[in-house]
Amino acid sequence: MLALLIACGGATERPTTRPPTAQASPSEAPPEAPDEAELAEARARLAAHPLHRVPLGDAPVWGLSDAPITIVAFTDFECPYCARAVTILEAVKARYRDQIRVVLRHNPLPYHEHAAAAHEAAEEARAQAGDQGFWDMHDRLFAFRDLSREKLVQHARALDLDVARFELALTDRRHRERVEADVALGRTFGVTGTPTFFVNGRKLTGAKPPEAFADLIEPLLVEAQERLAAGTPAGALYDVVTADGATEAVEAPRGPRRVEAPSVPEHAPRRGASDPELVVQVFSDFECPYCRRVVPLLERLEVDFPAIQIVWRHFPLTQHEGGRIASEVGAAVHAQLGDDGFWAFHDALFAAGRPLDRARIVAIAGTVDGVSVEAIEHALDARSHRLEVARDLEAGRRVGVRSTPTILVGDRLVRGTRSYLELEEIVDLALDDG
């Protein structure tokens, strides 16, 4: 990737050569093992960087398959820091050459309006022209920085892709799940921004200078030398050196911030204790895949802590039109059937999963006993419950909710998906505070 990536404002001429992808270099005699002092120093330098086992899957790869250093890059085509990281990686490649391979994972950020389409465009280029097509599209996306649909189609035409097929892929979003799977993988490993890199499983965040990469790569090369000298096949090196790595983020998440919790409005669905010792407000979006993961955790909290009350607050993100419709339908179901009806709809909708469009959301609502589909359709047409959704959005924004899921445990603001043990500990702390 490095030499072929083009930074914002840099040259727009595409490279004419590219190293082979996923192909091993000719076999050589194994290197000599590093001496004990060198190995001890390398281990000491790596100790400050927790090891992760980030799967490579069938993600696009640039470089030799037996390179001793694998950089997994979570990137966003609309992120200016990712564009800046392009030239940084060029410098890293120039220094280490065939010792580096790069594996790209998609991570379009939710507030970048055109990023998701750009990543799906790159996947369609790959579907038509393999990894070479992917990287050619990748180069153009970073070189031109215009991610409008018109420009994406121009790129497809310039790369001699089937333009009609390309446009259809953007319309039917056939690569959406692939891109979102990478985003979900990144979240598992604590990727909250871009660019984020895992260098042989060691995390490096942001557009750090080449020296920061070198500080990791140098001891990792010593580690690789030891493994190769012991007989590890070069092509298996990444799997071996990351075998003991964590399969989720190992850095401790930031503790919850204390805020002035908003009062619970009459329109908000709730369940659990009627006279609670602790109120847990869940700002959620029916179209958010991470919100779906929280559902079983909240159910378990309700069982383990019968003194708490769980409150749903509508927080559909601007890019999730299905989430907005689902929130208004949920509010309409609540108006018809009360809390029990809402939670039945809530469970059915999250169980059904995406995609969410009006017809499907209304059909799912119709499976709830007692729901009048005619009344739901009328409420949607009249936007009868839009103010309830707007009030929840405003209440969330006042206390710093920017993404979903965000959970208010009493006055503790908990962002993102957490493990059950983390949530349990936060609830315990809140109950202890009284």
Instruction: Give the domain ranges of the chain.
Output: 2-241, 257-433
2-241 and 257-433, same CATH topology: yes
Tell me the CATH number of domain 2-241, given options 3.40.30.10, 2.40.50.140, 3.40.50.300, 3.40.50.880. 3.40.30.10
Q: Which amino acid is at 134?
A: F
**What predicted TM-score, i.e. pTM, was given to this entire model?**
0.56
How many CB atoms are located within 10 Å of the residue 23 CB?
A: 11
Phi/psi at 326 (5° precision): -60, -40
Q: At what angle do helices 163-172 and 115-144 cross, to 10 degrees?
A: 140
Q: What is the full per-residue pLDDT of the chain (434 aa) written as tens digits?
A: 433 333 232 323 333 334 445 555 555 666 788 888 888 888 888 888 899 999 999 999 999 999 999 999 999 999 999 988 988 998 999 999 999 999 999 999 988 999 999 999 999 999 999 999 999 999 999 999 899 999 999 999 999 999 999 999 999 999 999 999 999 999 999 998 999 999 999 999 998 899 899 999 999 999 999 999 999 999 999 999 999 999 888 754 456 789 999 999 999 999 999 999 999 999 999 998 878 888 999 999 999 999 999 999 999 988 889 999 999 999 999 999 999 999 999 999 999 988 899 999 999 999 999 999 999 999 999 999 999 999 999 999 999 898 889 999 999 999 877 778 888 989 999 998 86
What does the pLDDT read at residue 288?
86
The span from the CA of 355 to the CA of 361, in Å, is 10
Could you please report the per-residue DSSP string of 300-326? Answer: HHHHH-TTEEEEEEE---TT-HHHHHH
Instruction: Compute the distance between CA of residue 35 and CA of residue 30 in angstroms, rounded to an integer.
Output: 15
Secondary-structure class of domain 257-433 per CATH: alpha beta
- Distance, first Cα to last Cα, the chain: 55
Angle at CA of residue 68, ends 67 and 70, nearest 5°: 80
DSSP 188-245: HTT--SSSEEEETTEEEESS--HHHHHHHHHHHHHHHHHHHHTT--GGGHHHHHTTTS
**What is the distance between the alpha carbons of residues 288 and 304, in angstroms, rounded to a whole number?**
26
371 by Cβ neighbours in 10 Å (0-12 / 13-18 / 19+) ranks as buried
AA identity, residue 162: D
Residue type, 214: A
Q: How far apart are CA 352 and CA 122, in angstroms?
A: 29
Reading the block at residue 431, the tokens are 């109950």
HSE of 35, CA atoms in CB hemisphere, 13 A: 2
